[in-house]
């Protein structure tokens, strides 16, 4: 039973970095009927604070995200298709929101991501994984399609169609070291070093000027949907804007001053 006093999404803010912790450890942080609403509220709070320059997602307990809650959203009995559609669409829209989020999003994988939870992790800009982390693609074991929370598209983009097909059709798992080798994880660290590794990466993001990071993310996310020529044209406009930004003017002035001191 859900505890009404417990917050399912814990939000902390420190030095320009927001951290959202999925806080249903007794339910392996699974996605229930209130998941999309609660997650969106936490993301709204992050977006409302312009001092936030990077977002970390992680889970409480031993799992990052257990996928769909087997008891709350699934049943062996007859169910309402329209309600299920709206529920699943809510999860999918979360993946879309994370993928195109204004600021970089880091997945700090403290443990397994299962099913649709993989889509939440892979919609982030990059993932840092604990040694216990893995992606479990168990859709077919439950009689469900892998067409869930963007997993087929995201996985194909990341590892190519052959490997994506292999893992999805065989209901496979990708452990931390395999994920590192395939480029799914940027780093693999010990469990007790995970949050510091994610925070260290976030601090490097925050060290850049706000506008430059937002423009870079826009280029990374939107540019891949264009052909190369169109992408180059878009980048010329975005970079010319960055050239005129206050952040660039300040940084280039400081850099020139340091060079002048070295030359004397």
The token duo for 179 is: 């994920």
CATH number of 9-207: 3.90.226.10
Going across the sheet that includes 105-109, the strands are 9-14, 17-22, 54-59, 105-109, 126-130, 187-189
The token duo for 190 is: 């010990």
Angle (deg, nearest 10), helices 35-48 and 81-99 = 30
- Provide the residue ranges of all domains of the chain, joining segments of one domain with +: 9-207, 210-263
Shortest CA distance to 139 belongs to which of 63, 36, 64, 67?
67
Using CA atoms, how far apart are residues 50 and 109, in angstroms rounded to an integer?
26
Ramachandran quadrant class, 29 (left: phi over 0; alpha: psi -120 to 50; beta: rest): left
The string of pLDDT tens digits covering residues 56-73 is 999 999 999 999 988 888
Using CA atoms, how far apart are residues 262 and 41, in angstroms rounded to an integer?
50
Question: Taking a C-beta distance cutoff of 8 angstroms, is the pair 64, 30 a contact?
Answer: no
**How far does the chain reach from its first CA to its final CA, in angstroms?**
71
Q: Per-residue pLDDT for the chain (264 aa), expressed as one digit of tens each? A: 445 557 999 999 999 999 999 999 999 999 999 999 999 999 999 999 999 999 999 999 999 999 998 888 877 887 788 888 899 999 999 999 999 999 999 999 999 999 999 999 999 999 999 999 999 999 999 889 999 999 999 999 999 999 999 999 999 999 999 999 999 999 999 999 999 999 999 999 999 888 889 899 989 998 888 999 998 999 998 888 888 888 888 888 887 888 877 776
What pLDDT is recorded for position 5? 59
């Amino acid at each position: 039973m859900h505890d009404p006093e417990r917050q399912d999404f814990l939000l902390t803010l420190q030095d320009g970095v927001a951290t959202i912790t999925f806080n249903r450890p007794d339910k392996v942080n699974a996605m229930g009927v209130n998941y999309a609403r609660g997650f969106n509220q936490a993301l709204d709070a992050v977006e409302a604070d312009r001092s936030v320059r990077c977002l970390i997602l992680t889970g409480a307990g031993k799992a990052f995200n257990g996928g769909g809650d087997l008891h709350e959203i699934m049943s062996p009995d007859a169910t309402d298709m329209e309600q299920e559609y709206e529920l699943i669409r809510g999860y999918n829209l979360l993946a879309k929101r994370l993928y195109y989020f204004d600021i970089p999003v880091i997945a700090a994988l403290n443990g397994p991501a299962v099913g649709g939870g993989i889509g939440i992790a892979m919609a982030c800009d990059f993932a840092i994984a604990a040694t216990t982390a893995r992606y479990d693609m168990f859709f077919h074991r439950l009689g469900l399609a892998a067409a869930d929370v963007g997993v087929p598209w995201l996985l194909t983009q990341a590892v190519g169609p052959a490997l994506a097909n292999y893992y999805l059709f065989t209901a496979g798992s990708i452990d931390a070291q395999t994920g590192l080798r395939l480029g799914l994880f940027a780093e693999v660290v010990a469990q007790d070093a995970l949050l510091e590794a994610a925070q260290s990466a976030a601090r490097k993001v925050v060290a850049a000027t706000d506008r430059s990071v937002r423009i870079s993310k826009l280029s990374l996310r939107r540019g891949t949907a264009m052909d190369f020529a169109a992408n180059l044209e878009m980048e010329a406009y975005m970079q010319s804007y960055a050239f005129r930004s206050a952040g660039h003017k300040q940084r280039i002035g400081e850099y020139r001053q340091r060079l002048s001191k070295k030359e004397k």
